[in-house]
Amino acid sequence: MRVFAIADLHLSFTAPKPMTVFGPNWTGHPEAIFERWREVVTPGDLVLLPGDLSWAMRLPEALQDLAHVAALPGQKVLLRGNHDYWWPAIGKLRAALPPGMLAVQNDAVRIGDLIVSGTRGWVTPGPDSFTEEDRRIYERELERLKLSLETARRLGAGTPGVTHILMLHYPPTGPHFAPTGFTELIALYRPDRVVYGHLHGVSVPRSLQHWGDIPTDLVAADGLQFRPKLILEL
């Protein structure tokens, strides 16, 4: 099984919302993603989708966007992003998802010898603006990340022959790559790889590519030229 990742699909088939405010490269981006997805992903592969999947405000509309993704090759694992306002309680979402789609929310799923854990994350403390509200959400997200990593450990993360990938929507640290509570938990639980999105207009070579010896991958769609990135092969 090959594992790919791509975040920030920003689909809006029911209520079109142009993404060209982020640059002309976003023109026709859903078609570009779907075409390039079909070029690289096969039915036996897995695709991680760490957040900002649909601009919809309610689940029924989001499911229309997700149906286009479900029709693409490969099994999919979804994570909530900061713009996924449609995302309901996780039990309700899992019951509504099309076949071949899984979701993680402050927990983890196991697919054969692969464990995928995840939580949204948040902006991190630093020299830029960081409000008391940011700190409240940041501390809540740290607890949720710990829950996710603990679930992964119970499912077998850290044991020989088992690979653990952590999905975050936000990067685990700020633009200066200073340590944060997120990076402390990553260093403590040691997932085999971390994938994250959220950052637009940031080139992959200038992004966080590892924390210590743990590879980290920016997989925001525009940074990948809208082509799912091969993360690893099992």
* Domain at 39, CATH number: 3.60.21.10
What is the reported pLDDT for 26? 77
Other C-beta atoms closer than 10 Å to the C-beta of 76 total 23
- The label of the residue with tokens 């603990």 reads 150
Domain count, the chain: 1
Closest by CA position to 194, among listed 221, 213, 214, 212: 214
Q: HSE-up of 199 (CA within 13 Å, CB side)? A: 23
Angle at which helix 181-189 crosses helix 132-154, to 10 degrees, equals 10
Domain that holds residue 197: 2-233
- Model's pTM, two decimal places? 0.95
Are β-strands 2-5 and 46-50 bridged in parallel, bridged antiparallel, or unpaired? parallel
Residue-averaged pLDDT of the chain: 94
Q: State whether the Cα torsion 33-58-200-114 is positive or negative.
A: negative
**168: which strand partners?**
119
Take residue 209 and report the two structure tokens written for it.
């590519």
CB within 8 Å of 208: residues ≥ 6 apart: 171, 172, 173, 177, 196, 216, 218
What is the reported pLDDT for 21? 65
Summarised one tens digit per residue, pLDDT across range 14-67 is: 877 777 667 777 777 999 999 999 999 999 999 999 999 999 999 999 999 999
DSSP character at residue 54: B
